[in-house]
Amino acid sequence: MGIPFSAIDDAVLLTQEKLVKRGAFTDLQTDLQDHVAVRELWKQRKKKFEGGDNWEFQLQMDHNHSAQAVGLFQTDGTALTDTMVTGSVPARHVNAHYIYDLREKDFQRGGTKIVEIVKTRYTAMMVSFFEVMETYLWGKPSSSSDVITPFGIDYWVTKSGSADGFNGANPSGFSSGKANVSQGTYSRWANWTGRYVAITKADLIRRMREAHTKTKFRSPVSHATPTLSGQSNGIYMPYSVIGLIEEELEKQNMNLGNDIASKDGRASFRGTPLTWVPFLDSGNTDEPVYMLDWKTLIVGIMAGWENQLTAPYMVPNKHNVRRVDLDASFNMISTDLRRQAVLNTAG
At the topology level, CATH places domain 5-59+86-344 in phage-related protein like fold (3.90.1690)
Packing angle between helix 5-18 and helix 112-138, nearest 10 degrees?
50
Inter-residue contact 115 to 23 (CB < 8 Å):
yes
What local confidence, expressed as pLDDT, does residue 33 receive? Answer: 78
Looking at every residue in the chain, the average pLDDT score rounds to: 83
Is the alpha carbon torsion for 160, 230, 132, 325 positive or negative? Answer: negative
Left if phi > 0, otherwise alpha if psi is -120 to 50, otherwise beta: which for 283?
left
With 50 as the cut, is the pLDDT of residue 23 above it?
Answer: no
With 70 as the cut, is the pLDDT of residue 11 above it?
Answer: no
Q: How far apart are CA 94 and CA 126, in angstroms?
A: 12
Domain boundaries, the chain: 5-59+86-344
Inter-residue contact 135 to 280 (CB < 8 Å):
no
With 80 as the cut, is the pLDDT of residue 327 above it?
Answer: yes
Q: Strand 313-315 relative to strand 318-334: parallel, antiparallel, unpaired?
A: antiparallel
Cα atoms found within 13 Å of the Cα of residue 244, Cβ hemisphere only: 12
% pLDDT > 70, the chain:
80
Residue 233, Cα to own-chain centre: how many angstroms? 13
What local confidence, expressed as pLDDT, does residue 251 receive? Answer: 78
What local confidence, expressed as pLDDT, does residue 335 receive? Answer: 92
Q: What percent helix, strand, coil does the chain show, rounded to 5?
A: 25, 25, 50
Please give the model's pTM, rounded to 2 decimal places.
0.84
With 50 as the cut, is the pLDDT of residue 155 above it?
Answer: yes
Inter-residue contact 123 to 30 (CB < 8 Å):
no
pLDDT for 30-64, tens place per residue? 777 778 888 787 777 667 777 667 888 888 877 77
pLDDT for 189-210, tens place per residue? 999 999 999 999 999 999 999 9
